[in-house]
Structure 1
Amino acid sequence: MNKIFIFFLLAFSTKLNCEQRGTYFSELDKKENKYPLAISYDDVATVLWCGVKCLNDNCCAQFLYDKISKHCIGVHNFEKGFISFSQIFGLSDKTELYRKGCGLGWTEFKSHCYFYGQQQVTWLDAKLECQNMCSYLVEIEAKEEADWLAMTFLKKDDCPTGIFKHCTAWTGGNDLDNEGQYVWDHSNTSMVFTNWYKNEPSILTPSQGLTRDCIDILRNGKWNDKSCSFLSAFICEK
């Protein structure tokens, strides 16, 4: 099914202020009527207003709209587990699935959305910041992604010179549970692809490796292990 992009600019009015927002939605193919965790919104008259419901829900990544029943369902696909909406909500064959764009402050790359948090925080605080935005600390699966992240977020004019100066960012990589066995935090999976900086992770100083359990990405896309209490920027993914 061809992707259909719908752009809208909506003005929300309240007694205190008025805000304008715009976003894109694209229609996706249905797969066996099974999608990740969802929430049922009130029935709405048009697919446009169904999109508005999803837009106002920070955790909504996709939405389903039944043209017959006017039923609107927001899909929270960052959660684990699947349910059959057709059985639960009685959806008709006129139901279509749309994907919400990345949103303000997020950048899209290969169908994933990324957010660069500039504030300097610990790894745990970075993880919580991402979770608050219904996302997770970035999980890097290929050199192309690592290079793109560095080029997009870390090679900035206001960054100090030098590989290890402030323009580094936390990733979800860590060996907190088992020393030397690095995993991605959100998916809890071992790393198939790695992109370590030379002599990392703490190869020449194994004693220091005991206290360097979290991974950040450097200006050149390479990785470094450091103490999780170190203050750094961070990159979220969803």
Structure 2
Amino acid sequence: MQGFASLVCILQLYILHVGRPYQLTSMYKETILGRDSLFDGSTPKNTQYILTNMEETTRSSCVIFCLIYSSECASILYDEELRSCRLLLTHLSLNLTNVPTHNTPNDQSQYWARLKVCEDGWYPFASHCYFFYETKVTFDEALIFCREKESYLLELQSSLEISWIVDSFLLPVSGVDEQCPEFYSCSMWTGATDFNTTTKFIWTHSDTDMVFPEWGSGQPNNAGGDQHCISLMRDSKANDVSCVLRYQVICERE
């Protein structure tokens, strides 16, 4: 116990004063939690984006748990009055919140986000980083684009990851029916193909079987005999499609 207490004391020396970013440094990394008042008082649309709830916790302890003891923590919501701490798997955005982006009487939490968990332009979720490319390209072009970014084309490993991808990138904040009129509208590439097998789809990066996402109604159907790639549709389902079609891209890295 003495070793743990000493560790906490050492870490607290690196925590800056209230109102400035919380910063922990070492010879190996620099990690910062910075406050974004735009999302003060917000709550995540999907409660599964909350990694941990802690009560009767100081803000310093909340910060330490996020930066040191939880590799999946991307941000926190801390309520000074209730002394409650919520560790989040992702950064909040307009697409991911249920409430307007200002304080509400029901939630007075301050929002702090890890600023250097991913490079600029990349979005964190559960210890992975994602890059969204809005331009629609073919499957081969998507593979090349992600490799050039030292990453790989999206591989989906859980229903929660799929929900986050859809909420964050596939669905517009408003006007879904107008902007995505068909069931296959607002789709994006995943990294799965059946090029090397006739019975199942394989992730191109990890060379493992595709388990997620679930198939859409009537899929896979290999319509036209050339549907060897997989798109993720806005209803969170998989659709086998021709690899020469054009969809938006998400690159992923660990």
Bin for the TM-score computed over the shorter chain: 0.5 to 0.7
- Summarize the alignment of residues 162-177 of structure 1 with structure 2, pairs less than 5 Å apart: 162-165=182-185, 167-177=186-196
Three-state SS of the structure 2 residue aligned to 1:144 is helix
Deviations 1:119-178 (A, max 9, x none): 11000100111111111011111111111111110001473333212x111000110111
* Matching residue of 2:131: 115
- Summarize the alignment of residues 48-87 of structure 1 with structure 2, pairs less than 5 Å apart: none
Three-state SS of the structure 1 residue aligned to 2:249 is strand
**1:186 aligned to which of 186, 191, 205:** 205
How far apart in 2 are the matches of 1:26 and 1:128?
A: 36
AA aligned to 2:195 is L
Correspondence 1:124 to 2:176 = no
Q: What is the number of equivalent residue pairs in this alignment?
A: 153
How far apart in 1 are the matches of 2:167 and 2:147?
A: 24
TM-score, reference length from structure 1: 0.56
Deviations 1:177-211 (A, max 9, x none): 11232000101111233411111111xxx563x30
Correspondence 1:229 to 2:244 = yes
Three-state SS of the structure 1 residue aligned to 2:236 is coil
Correspondence 1:199 to 2:204 = no
1:146 and 1:222 in contact (8 A); partners too: no
Three-state SS of the structure 1 residue aligned to 2:133 is strand
**1:47 aligned to which of 18, 27, 43:** 27
1:175 and 1:181 in contact (8 A); partners too: yes
Between 1:149-158 and 1:109-118, the stretch displaced more is 149-158
**1:102 aligned to which of 115, 118, 127:** 118
- After superposition, the Cα gap between the structure-2 partners of 1:111 and 1:160, relative to the gap in structure 1 and judged at 3 Å, is same
* Matching residue of 2:167: 151
* Matching residue of 2:91: none
Instruction: Name the Cα RMSD after superposition.
Output: 3.3
- Percent identity of equivalent pairs: 32
How far apart in 1 are the matches of 2:181 and 2:118?
A: 31
**2:232 aligned to which of 199, 217, 220:** 217
- After superposition, the Cα gap between the structure-2 partners of 1:177 and 1:25, relative to the gap in structure 1 and judged at 3 Å, is farther
Structure 1: where are the runs of 5+ without partners?
8-23, 28-45, 52-99
TM-score, reference length from structure 2: 0.52
CA drift at 1:215: 0.4
Structure 2: where are the runs of 5+ without partners?
16-21, 31-115
CA drift at 1:118: 0.6
AA aligned to 1:235 is I
AA aligned to 1:195 is E
1:147 and 1:220 in contact (8 A); partners too: no
CA drift at 1:105: 1.6
AA aligned to 1:176 is F
Three-state SS of the structure 1 residue aligned to 2:145 is helix
